[in-house]
Chains A and B, each alone.
Chain A
């Protein structure tokens, strides 16, 4: 599903060039449930951004679902993100002026699905994460755990092949963290690849494979 070959990425900070990823190789198969761990500054967020087509890389090759992802136009990148990928963020990133159902339906808007249809589908997905009764509520009326579940429903609605989650439990307590992880496990059982970036051992222990990153290289592939 995901093939990274000698990926390099550096940032220019003033006069200094900061190498974040150093010729990194990684492959993740379809249906895997993976976590990426590493201390801050190890490059895990950058890696996730590259895999999520949210950021470019300087050298190497990234193949996602047999498609070379390199130097894409913004339009093309948006298309692939919409078709193949789902995202879950630490701070949920729901639009506060939209209710839960509309938030979940947003990816379908960019697939040009009509309003009635996409709200219908959004309700199904809200049902799946156990929040059907909260469809009309805005994010500010919901708890952190509920918001994250709405975000997961939003990630799922586009029928992605891969879901990327950046510290998805970073803002949640243990109880709700576990609920969110259970939800990911369920989703994974349906064959969707899940990649979670975290620095919490309890979270990574719940995944099938832990990839450890240090100083821009992979320390352990977790096999």
Chain B
């Protein structure tokens, strides 16, 4: 029931002690403000780190070979072996979990890349068309490699944004122009931009992708490849599939099945899982610290309410003499406490959200790219939880003072002074 009289009483009581009320409210304000700020900062960090991997498939792995470390079937340890295209075909056929599998290799040797009188040194990767699904990129111009490029070992290249900036004039069209890689002319078919943030952008945008078949030819590797990447559907476990692939490759290349060091792999699912674990931890810590701060504020409210009740002993005694029931007095005090905490907390919430939104907007406006921090926000759920906590804690803060007030005996209050 909305009781306008009760609210008038509460406003009257709050406004009688403006400074005291303001100082008490500040405790609660600060608690919520800090909690929200911490949550926002945590969110910003999480986004920042997630952005570092943006574009990267969250269920991919990279697999490469190393030297064997165990003797097996009459062969000495320390043997070098290579993955080839037959392995890829075999895996594609026999490992049903594989979604995409992409052979990769680097163009070996020391060389510079020329266009007209400009030159630069960049990494050149031999890639398959599906690689764009493992690590997606934004196309500024043109297209990516396709199956015909692979089949015909075409001399075409997709270049990173930075490569384009360094090799071409701004006014030049870029696509369908030729660049000189190790003495061979490649036609540029696309320019790509990284979706990641931080250091990784540089690596992505300073590389060149050519058909892996062309790279094999230039390296004179036959049908060998350097390594490969694969993805599985989100429901599958990457590590399990990787183990399966390890077993197949070991068998095909006569490597001991126990030789764990003979194959290397890197698993994005595991990596993401670790980050997620870290952020769950940060989140828990944030709530613990925030709620601790909030409790300090609430104790302040409770304390002040106790003083206020003491001060109003006479008033409560009189009210009781005139027919106030203990419950009406309890609800008066608790509502005052809830109002105080709710308003103070709400202001804290609004200020914190405002500040965080402001930071986020500034980062957008000035295009700030930090490696570990991006566009912080407070999610709606956290705000709802905080509001609920406020109201409950407000009621708890009022509980002790209220029961004190209800216990006041009218005679003690009204004894002539």
Contacts and interface: CB of A to CB of B under 8 A. Distances in A.
A and B interact physically: yes
Contacts of B410: 54
Interface string A95-113: 1011000000011011100
A87 interface: yes
Contacts of A166: 414, 416
Interface in A83-99: 83, 87, 89-91, 93, 95, 97-98
Interface string B315-351: 1001111111111100000000000000000000000
Interface stretch (A21-29, A62-70, A72-80, A176-184): A72-80
B323 A74 contact: no
Contact of A111 (B13, B323, B406, B409): B323
Contact of A107 (B16, B323, B409, B416): B323
A81 B318 CA distance: 11
B113 to A, nearest CB: 84
Contact of A170 (B318, B319, B409, B416): B416
A54 B416 contact: no
B314 interface: yes
B4 interface: yes
Contacts of B325: 74-75, 78-79, 110
B10 to A, nearest CB: 12
Interface string B297-328: 00000000000000000110011111111111
A166 B414 CA distance: 10
Contacts of B321: 52, 54, 81, 87
A81 to B, nearest CB: 5
B417 A95 contact: no
Interface string A40-55: 0000010001001011
Contact of A115 (B5, B324, B328, B406): B5
A158 interface: yes
Contacts of B16: 97
Given A89-B416, A93-B414, A115-B4, A106 B319 contact: yes
B327 A75 contact: yes
A95 B323 contact: no
B148 interface: no
B411 interface: yes
B409 A55 contact: yes
A82 B322 contact: yes
A169 to B, nearest CB: 12
Given A115-B5, A167-B416, A82 B411 contact: no
A107 B411 CA distance: 17
A113 to B, nearest CB: 10
A54 B410 CA distance: 6
A49 to B, nearest CB: 5
A52 B409 CA distance: 13
B19 interface: no
B139 to A, nearest CB: 70
B12 interface: yes
B318 A110 contact: no
Given A89-B414, A91-B417, A167-B416, A74 B322 contact: no
A170 to B, nearest CB: 7
Contacts of B315: 95
Nearest to B312: A95
B323 A81 contact: yes
B411 A110 contact: no
B308 to A, nearest CB: 13
Nearest to A80: B323
Contact of B322 (A55, A90, A110): A110
A149 interface: no
A78 B323 contact: yes
Interface in B28-87: none
Contact of B414 (A54, A115, A158): A54
Nearest to A79: B323
Contacts of A107: 322-323
Nearest to A50: B411
A78 B324 contact: yes
Nearest to B4: A115
A49 B321 CA distance: 10
Contacts of A82: 322-323
A89 B415 CA distance: 9
B318 A93 contact: yes
A109 B410 CA distance: 18
Contact of A109 (B5, B326, B406, B416): B5
Contacts of B323: 78-79, 81-83, 107, 110-111, 158
A25 B410 CA distance: 24
B13 to A, nearest CB: 8
B37 to A, nearest CB: 38
Contacts of B12: 97-98
Interface string B108-136: 00000000000000000000000000000
B320 A93 contact: no
Interface string B371-413: 0000000000000000000000000000000000010011100
A56 B324 CA distance: 17
Q: Which 7 A-B pairs have the closest CB atoms?
A: A82-B323, A110-B323, A90-B416, A54-B410, A78-B325, A54-B411, A107-B322
Given A74-B320, A82-B323, A115-B4, 5 more contacts: A52-B321, A74-B326, A78-B325, A87-B322, A158-B322
10 contacts: A78-B324, A81-B323, A87-B322, A91-B416, A107-B322, A110-B323, A110-B324, A110-B328, A115-B5, A154-B322
Interface of B: 4-5, 12-13, 16, 314-315, 318-328, 406, 409-411, 414-417
